[in-house]
Amino acid sequence: MTGEHTTGSWVDPSRVRMAKYGFLIALGVASTVYHLWFTQLFPFEQDQHKIAHLGFMLVGAAVLAYTPEPETRRERFGNYATLLEAALSAVVAVYLFTAFNRIVYEQLGIYTDLDLFMGLLIILLLLDVCRRVYGPMLSLVGVAGLVYALYGPYFPGILNHNGVQAERLVQGLTVEFGSGVFGVIVEVSGTFIIIFMILAGLLEAYGALEYFVQVGTLIGKRVRSGLAQMTTVASMGMGSVNGSAAANAATTGAFTIPLLKRHGLDRDTAAAYEAVASSGGQIMPPIMGAAAFIMAEITGTSYLKIIVVGFLPALLFYGTVAIGVHLTTVKEGLTSEIDEEELTDVETVDRDRKNALDRIFGRTTTAVSFGQISVRNLIVEGLALWVPLAVLLYALVVLLYDPLYAGFLSIMSAFPAAFVQGIFFRDGYGIRDFLVDTMDGLGRGMENAAPIAVSLGVMNIFVGVLNLTGFTQVFASSLVELSGGVLALLLMFAMIAALLFGLGMPTVAAYITAVLLIAPALTEAGVDLLAAHFFVFYFAILSALTPPVAIACLVTARVAGGNFWRTAGKSLVLGAPLFVLPYIFVVNDSLLFWSVPATPITFVVVGIGLVATATAMVNYFSGQLRIPNRAGLLVAAAAAMFAPLVPMTVAVQTVATLSILALLYIAVKYDSGAETGQSEQASIDD
């Protein structure tokens, strides 16, 4: 297809790509200026600001969905539709923004036909733009909500309600403001999330991916599974920054997966590593993707408390992933020597963007040097990353500033830190280079934030319907009744529901859907509010690994050229202990709410239990495990992790921990000569 175009033609894909990224950068700059201005001066009412925010994000998401090289008539038609939707989004936003005072203060609940038409139009735009950037699943949830609201009398059982008239539905979801499309979730998106997505975009442009690869490489040189651990560290770091399992898997996976394959790892295993590691980045403080801000708003808890509560479970999560990756890598015989020259391949990630930037500015962003990887090098090369994070933590923890202002200060500190880093540690770096990197970062911020904001707008449609029909309370009561008051059964129902709600949806949307319906039932059964939210949040994340959709596995399998089902299967084996973790911190609440000595003791005991679980699932320690040893590890691990459920908790924890250590010692002493499974490695066709 591309061969049909001449370089000077207006349909040249490189020119189209340049126009696309150029527009996103310009929109990102304008959006950043507006949002920083608003979050410091608050010149408009919050409801009016939400209109402007959603307008920026809808336009950005529509342009982001544009395909520079359409290969079919359907893709070409889709491109025309996305441009039309971008223009209509701007028109609707401008209309509602300028008419806000008239609608709210002058008409007093009397709406013109044009008001209602614009309200209906923004609903339709949200649904279709969301479909373009995320696929049909989330939009279908929004459509299902609308159908449920309109045809409530025709639904059976607990779903039955009196129904909502179409005009009332549009009013309640749009032009009444403060609810529906412009509800509290979009308010969080327009304040906390956008600020931290701007910061995330800047960190990416200033070399976050390259930096995390360096960190992983430094760690990887000291362990046998070093190359694979580099994947884990890079994915963890980028996942915390960008807040999307699929985006993380695509970005870091484009570099890490081919590298792992070249070193002899089976393509499906490489894809599974990236899928599991990418899925968990959103639980890692201090940024935790976007869901932490939503959780803080819904629960009425400070953002600082959210990241403190989430810290130890996140360490257990990634510690377990690292153990599973290590054992699987050794079992499958990956050669883990790291060739630093190969790491320059990280520069090929986002090649389309780099080519577009080169055409727009005459240069591309500057990658971090991989000349000498050392602790000192990591510190100085990471100046643009560590200074903003240090400012953020200092403002939150020491000065006790609001997250919004702390985020603003963090962004402001990123500019001088990146400039100093570039001037002192990059050859030929000047003001022009810094400005290009910064504008690229603001464009990346728009690309990170726009899909999330649009998905939250669609979720607000669903949430608005739940509020209008009162279904949330009915569902929670029914769930408790179905479980018969048995907490274990209720938690299992909650897990299944959270995984189902998350199929094919971004984490934030999956979390919101699940938590609004499930958390009330859990709290009614006596589970702490934050524990209930984290329980649902973790399974919303793990839905990215759960077939039949398993969006993270789908992305990494495509990158690896592997089989989706084999990738999903290996991801579930690697991630099996993670499906137990939410149950663990509900039972061991000292992991969430710190106390001495309960928290450190529980952390160590649970950590050992998760190591035993990972070892048993991978079926390898220093060799393949014998069946009795493997079964013993699973039993002892269960006893260690769920000891608070039985009398004499301390005694059970002690016996279980000693049993695990003994079984692992036996495995080292007697199973070290077992086959490593290298013969089972699938052939690799690069």
In this predicted structure, the answer to whether residue 1 has a pLDDT above a threshold of 80 is no
How far apart are the C-alpha atoms of 629 and 612, rounded to whole Å?
Answer: 11
Using alpha carbons, list the distances in angstroms from residue 435 to 11, 46, 365, 415: 29, 31, 10, 10
Longest dimension (CA), the chain: 82
How far apart are the C-alpha atoms of 282 and 112, rounded to whole Å?
Answer: 43
Looking at residues 300-313, what average pLDDT do you find? 87
State the pTM of this model: 0.81
Q: Which two tokens stand for residue 258?
A: 């081919």
Where a domain ends, among 180, 204, 237?
180
- Domain membership flag for residue 613: yes
In this predicted structure, the answer to whether residue 511 has a pLDDT above a threshold of 90 is no
pLDDT averaged over the chain?
83
How far apart are the C-alpha atoms of 605 and 540, rounded to whole Å?
Answer: 26
Q: Which two tokens stand for residue 259?
A: 């590298």
- Domain membership flag for residue 23: yes
CA atoms within 13 A on the CB side of 570: 27
- Domain membership flag for residue 22: yes
Q: In sequence order, which residues have a C-beta less than 8 Å from that of residue 12 and are 6 or more positions away?
A: 5, 6
Q: What is the DSSP letter of 549?
A: T
Q: Which of 41-45, 347-351, 353-357, 522-526 has the lowest mean pLDDT?
A: 347-351
- For 605-646, the DSSP string reads HHHHHHHHHHHHHHT-SSSPPPHHHHHHHHHHHHHHHTGGGS
Using alpha carbons, list the distances in angstroms from residue 250 to 338, 414, 461, 502, 592: 22, 25, 29, 19, 31
Where a domain ends, among 132, 157, 180?
180
Q: Which two tokens stand for residue 491?
A: 């938690």
Q: Which of 107-121, 174-188, 345-359, 545-559 has the lowest mean pLDDT?
A: 345-359
How far apart are the C-alpha atoms of 14 and 5, rounded to whole Å?
Answer: 10
How far apart are the C-alpha atoms of 447 and 29, rounded to whole Å?
Answer: 12
Q: Which of 10-19, 29-38, 532-541, 654-663 has the lowest mean pLDDT?
A: 10-19
pLDDT band at 232 (very low <50, low <70, confident <90, very high): confident
- Domain membership flag for residue 67: yes
> What is the number of structural domains in the chain?
2
Residues of the chain above pLDDT 70, percent: 88
CA atoms within 13 A on the CB side of 396: 22
pLDDT of residue 155: 87
- Domain membership flag for residue 528: no
pLDDT of residue 613: 93
| Summary count for the chain: helices (H), strands (E) | 29, 0
Q: Residues 475-507, buried b or exposed e (16+ Cβ, 10 A)?
A: bbeebbeebeeeeeebbebbbebbbebbbbbbb
SS3 readout for 386-402: HHHHHHHHHHHHHCCCC
In this predicted structure, the answer to whether residue 161 has a pLDDT above a threshold of 90 is no
Q: How many residues are recorded in the chain?
A: 686
Where a domain ends, among 162, 180, 198?
180
pLDDT band at 366 (very low <50, low <70, confident <90, very high): low
- Domain membership flag for residue 77: yes
In this predicted structure, the answer to whether residue 370 has a pLDDT above a threshold of 50 is no
- Domain membership flag for residue 188: no
In this predicted structure, the answer to whether residue 338 has a pLDDT above a threshold of 90 is no
Using alpha carbons only, give the angle 183, 186, 192 rounded to the nearest 5 degrees. 130
pLDDT of residue 341: 52
In this predicted structure, the answer to whether residue 371 has a pLDDT above a threshold of 70 is no
Other Cβ atoms closer than 10 A to 194: 31
- Domain membership flag for residue 558: no
pLDDT of residue 58: 96
In this predicted structure, the answer to whether residue 503 has a pLDDT above a threshold of 50 is yes
pLDDT of residue 411: 93
N-term to C-term CA, the chain: 24
Give the structural domain span for 648: 595-669
